[in-house]
Amino acid sequence: MDPIEHVERKLADLEAHSLTRRRRIADTRCTPLQVVDGRAMLAFCSNDYLGLAAHPRVVEALRAGAQLYGAGSGASHLISGHSRAHAILEERLADLAAPHLPEARALYFSTGYMANLAVLTALGADNDAVIFSEALNHASLIDGARLARAAVTVYPHGDVAALEAQLAASTAATKIVATDAVFSMDGKLAPLPQLLALCERHGAWLFVDDAHGFGVLGAQGRGALEHFGLRSPNIVYVGTLGKAAGVGGAFIAAHASVIELLVQRARPYIYTTAAPPALAHALLTSLDIITGEEGAGLRSHLELLVAQLDAELRLARWQRVVSSTPIQPIVIGPNDEALRIAAALYARGLWVPAIRPPTVPNGTARLRVTLSAAHTHDEVAQLATALNELEAM
Ligand X SMILES: *Cc1c(COP(=O)(O)O)cnc(C)c1O
CB of 300 to ligand X, least distance (A): 23
138 among annotated binding-site residues: yes
CB of 48 to ligand X, least distance (A): 12
Q: For ligand X, give the closer residue by CB, 209 or 226.
A: 209
Q: Which is nearer to ligand X, 119 or 386 (CB)?
A: 119
Is the CB of 203 or the CB of 361 nearer to ligand X?
361
Q: How many residues does the chain have?
A: 393
Q: In what order do the strands lie in the sheet with 39-43?
A: 33-36, 39-43, 350-351
Is 112 labelled as part of a ligand binding site? yes
Judged by beta carbon, residue 140 or residue 387, the one nearer ligand X is 140
**Does 108 carry a binding-site annotation?**
no
DSSP string, 185-202: TT-PBP-HHHHHHHHHHH
Closer residue to ligand X in complex, CB, 141/384: 141
CB distance 278 to 65 below 8 Å: yes
- Whole-number minimum distance, CB 385 to ligand X, in Å? 29
Between CA 86 and CA 173 the distance in angstroms is 34
Judge whether 355 and 335 are in contact, CB under 8 Å: no
Shortest Cβ distance from residue 142 to ligand X (Å)?
10
* Residue 15 beta carbon to ligand X: minimum distance, rounded to whole angstroms: 26
> Which residues of the shown chain bind ligand X in the complex (CB under 6 A)?
111-113, 116, 138, 140, 180, 184, 209, 211-212, 240, 242, 250
| Residue 184 assigned as binding residue | yes
In angstroms, the CA 198 to CA 308 distance is: 36
Do 176 and 205 contact (CB within 8 A), yes or no?
Answer: yes
C-beta nearest to ligand X: residue: 112
Nearest approach, Cβ of residue 303 and ligand X (Å): 20
- Which residue, 153 or 184, is less far from ligand X as judged by CB? 184
- What stretches of the chain adopt beta strand conformation (E)? 33-36, 39-43, 104-109, 129-134, 151-155, 174-180, 205-209, 235-240, 250-255, 319-320, 327-333, 350-351, 354-355, 365-370
Using CA atoms, how far apart are residues 76 and 294, in angstroms rounded to an integer? 35
Q: Is 30 or 384 the residue whose CB approaches ligand X more closely?
A: 30
User: Please, what is the minimum distance in Å from the beta carbon of residue 283 to ligand X?
Assistant: 12
Strand pairing category for 129-134 and 174-180: parallel
Side chain identity at residue 25, one-letter code: I
Query: Measuring CA to CA, which residue among 154, 157, 156 is closest to residue 145?
Result: 154
Residue stretches of the annotated binding site: 21, 112-113, 138, 184, 212, 240, 359
Residue stretches of the annotated binding site for substrate: 21, 138, 359
Residue stretches of the annotated binding site for pyridoxal 5'-phosphate: 112-113, 184, 212, 240
